[in-house]
């Protein structure tokens, strides 16, 4: 069956002499694998549209009950020229793609995840600073889509809303993403991971606002690192087989 869809290129692997097996997160079918014949030869008809992080319009022969399909056409759909401009953009863009490739299952379409993915790449491309925030915001929203979103709006015990809370710290429970304020728990570590008041409000901001607004939030590098560590352990708790994002380790190894 010939089908047309849009997709984000996640990963490519050399195949035979001149081809590649490319993993794409498509709008219609979720994560799929396609063979791109001749993409590494002089006669390559796909241009640069199969490079990771590209948002492409593709046409493929989709075979029922097979997990490898044949790519017949691919073109860049959205031009993201700045993703490779500097290390921070590159590594954050790669981390977004790495995350999707890690947590999404094959051929499990989710239009909302696709939307978040393309919004994130577009935002990393456009942002002038704080590119990592885009990734953090993407993570918060992706958790929600995957059914384990955090519930930070109010304290799970006193029900006081986050806007009224004026606390130095709170506890985030990894198992269900609920938050308990320090007034209700004191300093007891049993309620989950301790997060500072600033971290809590930052997480809430990143979760509630549009992805493209994430980069306008100024975070100190300490808070940023703590947020990354917290979100990564939260992810590990909820998504089997997930590990530390290699693209991010690369970013921090050069700072």
Nearest approach in angstroms of CB 143 to Zn ion is 22
Q: Report the nearest approach of another protein to the CB of residue 233 (Å).
A: 19
Q: For Zn ion, give the closer residue by CB, 60 or 181.
A: 181
CA dist., res. 37 & res. 27, Å (int) = 22
Binding mask 216-245 for another protein (x = CB under 8 A): -----------------------------x
Question: How many residues bind another protein, per CB under 8 A?
Answer: 33
Beta bridge partner(s), residue 32: 24
Helix 131-145 and helix 87-103, axial crossing angle in degrees, nearest 10: 10
Strand order in the sheet with 169-172: 151-155, 178-181, 169-172, 193-196
- Pick between residue 188 and residue 252 the one whose CB is nearest to another protein: 252
76 vs 167 by CB, closer to Zn ion: 167
Query: Minimum distance between the CB of residue 192 and another protein, rounded to whole angstroms?
Result: 29
Q: Which does 184 bind (CB under 5 to 8 A by kind): Zn ion, another protein, none?
A: Zn ion
Residue 148 CB, shortest distance to another protein, in Å, is: 23
Interacting residue ranges for Zn ion, rule: CB under 5 A:
155, 157-158, 181, 184
Q: Which residues contact 232 (CB under 8 A, 6 or more apart)?
A: 244, 245
Q: Which of 48, 216, 222, 225 binds another protein (CB under 8 A)?
A: 48
Residue ranges binding another protein (CB under 8 A): 10-11, 16-17, 42, 47-49, 51-54, 75-76, 79, 81, 84, 86-87, 90-91, 94-95, 97-98, 101, 245-247, 249-250, 253-254
């Amino acid at each position: 069956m010939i089908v047309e869809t849009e997709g984000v290129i996640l990963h490519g692997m050399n195949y035979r002499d001149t081809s590649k097996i490319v993993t794409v997160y498509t709008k219609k079918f979720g994560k799929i694998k396609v063979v791109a014949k001749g993409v590494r030869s002089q006669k390559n008809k796909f241009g640069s549209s199969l490079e990771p992080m590209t948002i492409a319009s593709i046409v493929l022969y989709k075979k029922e009950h097979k997990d490898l399909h044949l790519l017949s056409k691919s073109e860049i759909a959205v031009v993201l020229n700045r993703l490779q401009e500097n290390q921070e953009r590159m590594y954050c863009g790669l981390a977004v793609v790495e995350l999707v490739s890690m947590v999404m299952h094959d051929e499990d379409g989710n239009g909302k995840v696709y939307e978040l993915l393309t919004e994130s790449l577009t935002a990393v491309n456009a942002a002038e600073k704080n590119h990592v925030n885009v990734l953090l915001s993407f993570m918060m929203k992706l958790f929600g889509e995957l059914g384990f979103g955090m519930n930070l709006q109010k304290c799970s015990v006193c029900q006081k809303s986050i806007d009224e809370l004026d606390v130095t710290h709170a506890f985030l429970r990894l198992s269900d993403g609920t938050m308990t304020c320090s007034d209700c728990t004191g300093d007891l570590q049993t309620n989950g991971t301790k997060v500072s008041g600033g971290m809590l409000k930052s997480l809430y901001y990143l979760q509630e606002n549009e992805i493209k607004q994430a980069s306008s939030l100024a975070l100190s590098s300490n808070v940023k690192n703590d947020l990354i560590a917290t979100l990564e352990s939260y992810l590990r708790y909820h998504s089997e087989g997930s590990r530390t994002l290699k693209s991010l380790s690369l970013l921090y190894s050069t700072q």
